Amino acid sequence: MLTSDIVIIGAGAVGSAIARELSKYKLDVIVVEKSEDVGGDASKSNSAIIHTGFDATPGTLESKLVVGANPMYDKLTRDLDIPFERVGAIVTAVTEEEYDLLPGIQEKAYKNGVYDVEYLTPSEVLKMEPEINPEIKGGLYIPRESIIDPFIYVVALAENAVTNGVKFLLSTKVIDIVVEEGKVKKVITDKGEISTKYVINAAGLYCDEIAEMVNLCDFKVHPRKGQFFILDRAANYNINQIILPVPTKHTKGKLISPTVHGNVLIGPTAEDQDDKKDKSVTTAGMEEVLNGVTKLVPKISSKDAITEYAGLRPTRTPEGYYVSASKEVEGYIGVTGIRSTGLTSSVALGVYVANILNEVGLKLVKKSDFNPIRKGIPKIANMDKEEQAKLIKENPKYGRIICRCESITEGEIVDAINSPIGAKSLDAVKRRLRPGMGRCQGGFCTPRVIEILSRELNVPYESIRKNNEGSNIIVKKNR
Ligand SMILES: Cc1cc2nc3c(=O)[nH]c(=O)nc-3n(C[C@H](O)[C@H](O)[C@H](O)COP(=O)(O)OP(=O)(O)OC[C@H]3O[C@@H](n4cnc5c(N)ncnc54)[C@H](O)[C@@H]3O)c2cc1C
């Protein structure tokens, strides 16, 4: 049986940020994740925006954590080598009715302590974003709304936590929690038991099932699906900031956002459903997204969509962030209701949860050798010719292009496989480096990546999977 001070359930943005924060202290921390890789569920299929909290409900824990988290990203993304850009956002009023709602949004921003929100005239908006609907009535500029690579964000948090002593158990599902005399004693997984004093429930969509294991489930979580479409870089939309609609009582609406990799992202829908596994993308979803975004930027066309995905927001009833240590079960900390802003708030949640642990009596003793720095895999395509030649001379694998769309070399893929949380599946390589995310969507590079994974992991081709169990790609050799 493994032993630990703290078990964190879930290696999404929230669990990984908590793990990295706790790795600053002299503690034995184990993260248990049922998937084959870190990255989470909602954490890898969202709008990739680091919010300011301008539109959060004032006075809520969510508002406090999102507003507090935003300024933390400058240092964090530098330390952990995470693609991040402070591009800013424009709330775009296309009709007079929408324009009349802008003062209310600005007032909310002030109540949340977001003071750098400014009015823009139609000509100011069009100067900043010439593709916006010329009928525009005006807008609000929110300069610190930012974009991030959500995959690298979680991988980087987890890798840095590992460097600082945290253990990640992947492909390991928590199936029960043992409580004796009102105290957490053990976490039972499908691979064995872990004795622990504290358990942190950061299981996203499944946090209600974890809470049930300690008989503390007075809430339900259901998925709210959001469908997205990614537009081809070659389409040259010239979108420089996040373009937001004016939210209504019912929906935040569909946004248009540049990504840190130079594409344009459009979406999401907001569809309540019961099935926690249904991530299907539909024609109706595409039409709904297009209807929304073409009101803001009329020239956006479905012809330019190169791929699509859907994410499931973990919607809690009753709604809102609920983050606390249980009074009934000593050692249990629930982090639930992290629905639509958890990518942003995760880094602040790490500190918040560490503070809760301190309040319930866990001594947090700082390590003198905590290393806050993590280096990502060097991107050969971004180097100048001299640097490339030097690296290729040292290791010719950096000269063999595997993904033509994104210019990714064999050397980089080998680095991803051998990184602190090694990539073991096609999706894990894709999330770290982007082979398969370009125009051909993996048509050319997939067999090559399978070959490299098979060789580096010393396993047959047939055992290489897209992601979790059952997603093998090659069934058998036929010639
Ligand atoms: C459509 C959409 C758009 C969004 N846009 C944004 C945005 O732009 N900005 C923003 O800040 N936020 C955004 N969000 C919200 C954000 O993505 C989530 O709040 C955040 O990712 C939640 O992170 P998490 O770690 O709590 O959950 P998850 O990422 O879901 O991670 C939970 C993890 O727990 C694991 N797990 C579950 N049960 C078990 C078990 N029994 N044993 C072991 N492991 C288990 C899961 O496998 C998963 O990896 C958006 C969400 C969606 C869906």
- Ligand 1 lined by 339 (C-beta under 6 Å): yes
Sign of CA dihedral 67, 230, 228, 138: positive
Residue 437's pLDDT is 86
May I ask the CATH class of domain 89-143+223-310? alpha beta
Cα 272 to Cα 342: distance, rounded to the nearest angstrom: 18
- Ligand 1 lined by 106 (C-beta under 6 Å): no
Q: Coil, strand or helix: which one is 447?
A: helix
Cα 142 to Cα 3: distance, rounded to the nearest angstrom: 47
Residue 250's pLDDT is 64
b/e map of 106-120 (b: 16 or more CB within 10 Å)?
A: bebbeebebeebeeb
Using the atom order of ligand 1, give the atom closest to the CA of residue 15. 25
Structure tokens at 308: 């699509």
Considering the entire predicted model, what is its pTM? 0.97
Structure tokens at 386: 């001299």
CA triple 364-369-371, angle to 5 deg: 100
| Protein fold of 1-82+147-219+318-376 | FAD/NAD(P)-binding domain (3.50.50)
| DSSP H or E segment with residue 198 | strand 198-201
Distance of CA 159 to CAs 72, 156, 221, 435, Å? 19, 5, 29, 20
CA of 143 to the centre of ligand 1 (A): 26
**What is the CB-side half-sphere exposure of residue 304 using CA atoms within 13 A?**
16
Cα 193 to Cα 166: distance, rounded to the nearest angstrom: 17
Question: 90: which strand partners?
Answer: 141, 243
Cα 205 to Cα 277: distance, rounded to the nearest angstrom: 10
Using the atom order of ligand 1, give the atom closest to the CA of residue 32. 43
- Ligand 1 lined by 348 (C-beta under 6 Å): no
* Catalytic positions, written as ranges: 51
Residue 342's pLDDT is 98
Residue type, 378: P
CA of 313 to the centre of ligand 1 (A): 7
Q: Nearest Cα to 230, choosing from 253, 258, 270?
A: 258
Report residue 263: phi and psi, to 5°: -90, 180
- Ligand 1 lined by 205 (C-beta under 6 Å): yes
122: number of Cβ within 10 Å: 17
Residue 440's pLDDT is 84
Residue 478's pLDDT is 80
CA of 223 to the centre of ligand 1 (A): 11
Instruction: Give the total residue count for the chain.
Output: 479
CA triple 375-380-384, angle to 5 deg: 110
CA-proximal residue: ligand 1, atom 33 (nearest): 10
End-to-end distance of the chain based on CA atoms, in angstroms?
46
Domain locations in the chain as residue ranges: 1-82+147-219+318-376, 89-143+223-310, 380-463
Answer whether CATH 1.10.10 is correct for domain 380-463. yes
One digit per residue, the tens of pLDDT, for the chain of length 479 reads: 999 999 999 999 999 999 999 999 999 999 999 999 999 999 999 999 999 999 999 999 999 999 999 999 999 999 999 999 999 999 999 999 999 999 999 999 999 999 999 999 999 999 999 999 999 999 999 999 999 999 999 999 999 999 999 999 999 999 999 999 999 999 999 999 999 999 999 999 999 999 999 999 899 999 999 999 999 988 889 999 999 999 877 678 999 999 999 999 999 999 999 999 999 999 999 999 999 999 999 999 999 999 999 999 999 999 999 999 999 999 999 999 999 999 999 999 999 999 999 999 999 999 999 999 999 999 999 999 999 999 999 999 999 999 998 899 999 999 999 999 999 999 999 999 999 888 888 888 999 999 999 999 999 999 999 998 899 988 887 87
- Ligand 1 lined by 15 (C-beta under 6 Å): yes
Best residue among 37, 43, 222 to mutate for probing ligand 1, ranked by most atoms within 8 Å of CB:
43
